[in-house]
Structure 1
Amino acid sequence: MIPAETLVKKAKDREFVRDPGNAPTEDFHDILFQLEKEGEWEVQRVPEPYIEVETKYGRKKKIPLEHTWHHKSCGQCGHIPGYSTSIFWLNRKLGFDYIDPTDQTSCTAWNYYASATSNAPAQAAVAMRNFAAAEETGYFPIIHCGTSFGHYKEVRQELIHSPELRRQVREIMAKLGKKLVIPEEIVHYSEWVYAIRDRIAEHQVRKMDHIRATVHPACHYHKLVTEDAIYDPEIYGAQRTAVITGTLQALGVEVADYSTWYDCCGFGFRHILVSRDFSRSFATQRKIEIMKQEANPDITVTHDTGCVTTLDQSQ
């Protein structure tokens, strides 16, 4: 008889081997550049200086330090305007060049994930229109919103595999007088913060080693095209995304674990619109109460607008 413990190991006892060959999808970089050679589109390169980090299966991802075009979040600007302005403050504090664009549109992913979307060409065209607007300025897009980030990664997957969709979007872009441009990387702002966490720590003026935090990783950051999210063997053995935990640890914060870390915050897009009581009770019972009972944190940290507002309002 095989002992049960050899078949089912706790997360802390499991070892995740980072191997690009085990990724569920091919390396999209190769396809991006091949399609560029074939004249399908233009790839906007990550500007120097940049930092290379590793994603879940060990692939490299370039994170630009500056010359960034900040794709803001509808929810952040509407509910938590200090969210975006604090990111801009960090850029200025560290002397990084950036641009706060005035011609960005909504990604419309709320419609998509709330089951009220239009069609694939329209959704993809919105993404490519924003990418083209960034390229026209000479700055590289960095995405503030986890929803936009996840949605744009899915759009990229659709575009690289569908010549017909590329044709349709190219026609739409031509009517707008814009090129079909796609960035070399799709970068979330929290990845940028993670990449420069040590630089941020150099400017730290208050000790944080007395603070205990729990982390809620945003679903749209690490569950959509999961192989393009940042992981680190030093953070839970590379079995959970590293961006928030790694940043907090760099600042001296104690990060406490809890059992329902993988669960949604309760927002759920369509759920918050049509079943708000369910969303609120899920956030309270599956996230907030569990965190309190198991970890008793001083703060909970997440990196997406919907998660912040849902957890904050639900408590």
Structure 2
Amino acid sequence: MNSIAGCPDIDHILRLAALGDNFEAASACLQVMLKKLLGSSVEPKHLWNFSSLGRTGFPVEVAFVSDDPSLRITAEVTGPEIPPSERLNYAEELFSELNGSEIPPVLSRFVHSIQKEGSLRYGAWLGSRHSCDGNSFKLYMEVPCYPDNSPEVKAWEQAIISRPFTRPARLRMIGYNGDSHTLELYYDTTYVWPQDLPALMSPVGLRDYAGDVTDYLFQAYRRPVNWELPGASDYGFSYAVPCPYTNNNKSNSAFSLYTFANALFGGDHSIRAAILELSKRQGWDSSLYEEISRPIAHKRGFITHHGVFGIVMSSRGRASVTFGLTLP
């Protein structure tokens, strides 16, 4: 696989992921997923740092979930020469090629309509998941939200999931998973208090697990807390629900609470140490993350390769950790 000049070979990361017989298929999928990005006409120095995927500007992020050993990659679909308002078209084209089917037309028309009405930062991202069992793909679509969501967006949101207005929040992004046929609705907000979580989690039937989410977050934080969530005031959350535009309504629902890893832990060095310590205490395999993050093991400073850090609670009643890392 071609790599972005001067940056890590993504093919090497695939080998570290120990994908077995699926290695060649996963490599071929990533060739397709990244072909428009790697074929960008801009100079490499501009291609490496234009993205809003993470704090470093690098256009590819690797994500990890503590109870799932799959390799997860999210990437920009084009270079910066393509305006964000045009990237959803490219993303849908790539998603259809990889997934074997397009996103539901009703969903596509809705997102194209709302994107025309507001300013965009990135337009769309494309995600993939790779394991020994196969490959799956997810399309991330930006929702304009400045200064707030439009009435059209609010009406659509309430039709998908009746969210309580415990805290002011804006719908920032819609994800469509082509394997599970789920929608994920991503919000940003300001302060989230522990007492807000039961109501926030109730739309997906997880109200009774709010304490598990805060307990896991406090375990990761490793310092005493009082009555507020640790870290900065910049929190977000998401709901994963069955997509109403498909025939598959058997998938699990989930709630995720997010903040930025550096708000909780500090620089990359401290973030990495906290994650590896948590993985050891919780007994999940962090070997892939440990190897990929090794080049930044001693990196300090507030501009980090680590992005968001989140706690996920699914309808199975078990919490897990998720976090992203733009490539060193």
**TM-score under structure 1 length normalisation:** 0.29
> Which one has a larger percent helix, Structure 1 or Structure 2?
1
> Which one has a larger percent strand, Structure 1 or Structure 2?
2
**TM-score under structure 2 length normalisation:** 0.28
Q: Which has the higher contact order (CA 8 A, sep 6+)?
A: 1
